[in-house]
């Protein structure tokens, strides 16, 4: 700040000297001029140094140069120079104030910059911490993904095995369906053959029906036996002979013979104890006749049902007559089907 005040003091001296020069002789004026020139040289040196110090004073140096060029006119315009001096001083004060303001602003900016830098550093640290957490989380996710991929691979293998088992099961189901269809076809064929073989008997004596995948040949007791007896009559034997012929032509058919009675107890003193005995004896009588007609006894199975599986009501004579029957139940052997279910066949 001192070079500025020195400059203005020097300018003031010049102004005073100029003012006094108008009142002194020419010699003194010349001396003053010479001294002025020396001062001008010093002023140029100072101005050169000053220009290097502050860029903000560039405009002021231009004004000072203009003032030096106007020194010749200071003699006639002292008042104007005084006003200009006052203006320059005011401008200098303003510049100093502006300089101080700029310095304060720079300090504030520097302080704000430091605060912003600290804030940015804190944010950067927080971002770095979050990045580390994300990195760890990604590592955990990657480990979980790897485990899930392994689990998926295991499940895929399990699914492949299940698929293979399912295909094998579907194959077995198709085989089973085919066998069942063949069995149904065989049962239908057997029913037709039995109906054709027994066309000479009416429905009250003998019926042939397909039920539950089997062929039921139901014969009334009038056709086979006398009342309360298990001895076969002529008509009964004739029917059984025709049935045996069909059985012998179909060796894969299993044969169950069931004897049935009505609910009326046997007469006291009879040769049989009860309806159980009567139904069994009638079933075994049929078995013996079939065996006589060449049916393999290993295919024959007699059973007595007494009056516990009625097909009609035992409250009237008609119903009781229907219940007194012998049923020959024919069914294809299920060996292949059972083997397939038990996994004995591919």
Domain ranges of the chain: 2-110, 183-341
Lowest mean pLDDT among 68-82, 94-108, 204-218, 254-268: 68-82
Spatial separation of the C-alpha atoms in residues 346 and 333, rounded to whole Å: 19
Please state which CATH number belongs to domain 183-341.
3.30.1330.60
Residue 340: what pLDDT? 47
pLDDT per position as a tens digit, 228-239: 788 898 889 999
Q: Is the pTM of this model over 0.75?
A: no
Q: What is the mean pLDDT of residues 243-247?
A: 93
User: What was the pLDDT predicted at 202?
Assistant: 83
Long-range contacts, stretch 229-235, CB < 8 angstroms, 24+ apart: 230/272, 230/278, 230/281, 230/282, 230/284, 230/285, 231/285, 232/285, 232/286, 232/289, 235/205
Q: Which of 18-27, 172-181, 271-280, 326-335 has the highest mean pLDDT?
A: 271-280
Q: How confident is the model at residue 345 (pLDDT cuts 50, 70, 90)?
A: low
pLDDT at 2 over 60: no
φ and ψ of 230, to 5 deg: -120, 15
Which of 11-20, 80-89, 150-159 is predicted least confidently? 11-20
Count of Cβ atoms closer than 10 Å to residue 289 Cβ: 19
Is residue 346 predicted with pLDDT exceeding 60? no
The pLDDT tens digits for 320-340 are 999 999 999 998 876 544 544
Structure tokens at 26: 């020419």
Mean pLDDT of the chain: 82
């Amino acid at each position: 700040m001192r070079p500025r005040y020195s400059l203005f003091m020097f300018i003031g001296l010049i102004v005073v000297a100029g003012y006094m020069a108008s009142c002194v002789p020419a010699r003194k004026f010349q001396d003053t001029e010479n001294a002025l020139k020396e001062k001008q040289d010093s002023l140029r040196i100072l101005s050169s140094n000053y220009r290097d110090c502050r860029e903000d004073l560039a405009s002021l140096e231009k004004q000072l140069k203009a003032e030096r060029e106007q020194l010749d006119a200071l003699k006639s315009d002292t008042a104007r120079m005084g006003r200009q001096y006052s203006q320059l001083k005011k401008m200098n004060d303003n510049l100093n104030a502006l300089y101080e303001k700029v310095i304060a602003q720079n300090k504030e900016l520097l302080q704000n910059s430091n605060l912003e830098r600290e804030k940015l550093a804190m944010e950067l640290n927080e971002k770095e911490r979050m990045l580390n957490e994300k990195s760890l989380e990604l590592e955990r996710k990657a480990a979980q993904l790897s485990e899930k991929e392994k689990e998926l691979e295991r499940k895929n293998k399990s699914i492949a095995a299940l698929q293979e088992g399912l295909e094998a099961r579907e194959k077995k189901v198709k085989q089973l369906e085919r066998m069942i269809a063949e069995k149904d076809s065989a049962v239908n064929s057997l029913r037709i053959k039995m109906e054709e073989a027994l066309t000479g008997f009416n429905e009250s004596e003998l019926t042939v029906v397909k039920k539950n995948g089997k062929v039921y040949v139901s014969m009334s007791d009038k056709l086979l036996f006398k009342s309360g007896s298990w001895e076969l009559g002529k008509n009964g034997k004739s029917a059984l002979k025709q049935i045996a012929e069909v059985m012998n032509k179909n060796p894969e058919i299993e044969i169950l013979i069931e004897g049935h009675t009505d609910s009326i107890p046997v007469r006291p003193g009879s040769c049989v104890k009860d309806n159980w005995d009567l139904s069994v004896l009638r079933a075994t009588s049929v078995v013996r006749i079939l065996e006589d007609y060449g049916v393999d006894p290993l295919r024959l199975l007699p059973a007595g049902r007494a009056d516990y599986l009625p097909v009609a009501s035992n409250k009237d004579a008609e119903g009781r007559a229907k219940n007194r029957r012998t049923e020959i139940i024919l069914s294809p052997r299920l060996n292949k089907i059972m083997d397939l279910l038990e996994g004995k066949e591919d």
